[in-house]
Amino acid sequence: MKKDADEETYKARMGQFREKISAMKIRISHLDSLLAKAGFNASDFEEAQKSLQQKNSLYISRLERAAELMRDYIIQEQAKVLSTEKHKPQIGLGAYNANSQYYGFGMSNSENSNVLFSYSGHFKIPEPKAKEMNNQATDLTASIEYINFPFVIQGAKFFPGAKKARIFYKDEELPTAGSFHGFPSLEQYPGYAEWKQQADSLTSGILSPRNLDSLHAMSTGTPTIEVKQPSADTSVAPPKIESGIATQGAPSKSSFGLFKTVLRWTSIGLCATSIGLGLNQNREVAKKNDTKNERYGEAAAAASGDINTYRDKYNAYTTSKEQLKDAENMRNAFYVAAGVFGLAGILTFVF
């Protein structure tokens, strides 16, 4: 849970947490089915179900907060502002205005640089120094501040998310105003539109980290449920459910055969149920994907308008992406469960 890795590692951890949430929801549905067949009376069944629900809710809540923490770690990394060394980019000078002491200029990244930028504006410089420059950019250098959010092209990382330009004349920083421009040449690459939307949100401050820490994953607000541990056996075997019927000695061959029969048809039934749920969840994935595309279009359309509207649309788009991922995990978990139960049923015929 500590902030001790890079963005890709946090993404992998977040994916693992979401997969565990989906798998846990599958297990809960199966446990409810098995619990109903365990032979409890009404009050014991209600008590057992309530206890399981409390424990499962606490577990899922902590997993959700852990995934939320990883997402914030990712945003913390992406929003981090880096800076180039002072260097000589490609600079073109415009006319100098002696009244305002402004020098118009435009600049772009030098060749072989992975920090991409295109900037135009003006810097303020006293007239004597402007004359000293003689309309030449020889003694001008620049430092570019940019966010730690690369756009990857064929495995190579580029950083087009420039945030601020600093101009120096003979190591003296000059007051500068202007703006960065987009890169139409990058639009041909897959994923650039989504990258740009995220980058614009980060550079504008619409999307900013909450600076959560590892305590967030544990602060569920749900009272801690005391889990009673088995007194002796701690192996992988499931805990024994007391039925109130005394047992003595080893199970007979007939009882073992009955167990196999129950396991066989229960496994086959759960396999069929999981397949059905998986197919149904697949339709849900398609709906979530359509919703995600709609939310993306709405956010893109609002990008040039009111900032609050854009923030709401972008947050809705981010939520729809997460909901799509959760739906995909649920579908995959159902199919995996179907395979596991199907194999368990088959093995009862073999052994």
CA 108/CA 174 separation, integer angstroms: 18
Residue 117 lies in a domain: yes
Residues 300 and 331 in one domain: yes
Residue-range definition of the domain harbouring residue 155: 82-189
CA 286/CA 275 separation, integer angstroms: 17
Residues 3 and 40 in one domain: yes
The angle formed by the CA atoms of residues 339, 344 and 347, to the nearest 5 degrees, is: 125
Residues 349 and 278 in one domain: yes
Residues 185 and 106 in one domain: yes
pLDDT on residue 220: 57
Q: Is the dihedral of CA 22, 24, 25, 31 positive or negative?
A: positive
Residues 125 and 172 in one domain: yes
pLDDT on residue 260: 44
Of 153, 169, 189, which residue constitutes the final position of a domain? Answer: 189
Residues 86 and 184 in one domain: yes
Residue 207 lies in a domain: no
pTM above 0.85, yes or no: no
pLDDT (mean) for 331-336: 55
pLDDT (mean) for 167-174: 95
Residues 59 and 108 in one domain: no
Residue 270 lies in a domain: yes
Residues 35 and 104 in one domain: no
Q: Write the pLDDT tens digit of every residue in 307-317.
A: 778 878 888 88
Residues 340 and 264 in one domain: yes
Residues 259 and 301 in one domain: yes
Residue 166 lies in a domain: yes
Residue 334 lies in a domain: yes
More confident call, 19 vs 286: 19
Residues 99 and 24 in one domain: no
Q: Write the pLDDT tens digit of every residue in 248-291.
A: 344 444 444 444 444 444 454 545 555 555 556 677 778 888 88
Residue 201 lies in a domain: no
Q: Write the pLDDT tens digit of every residue in 195-207.
A: 999 999 999 888 8
Q: Write the pLDDT tens digit of every residue in 211-223.
A: 888 778 776 544 3
Mean pLDDT of the chain: 77
pLDDT (mean) for 315-336: 70
More confident call, 282 vs 178: 178
Domain total in the chain: 3
CA 32/CA 301 separation, integer angstroms: 45
Residues 73 and 105 in one domain: no
Of 59, 79, 99, which residue constitutes the final position of a domain? Answer: 79
Q: Write the pLDDT tens digit of every residue in 65-97.
A: 899 999 999 999 999 999 999 999 999 999 899
CA 185/CA 116 separation, integer angstroms: 12
pLDDT (mean) for 329-335: 57
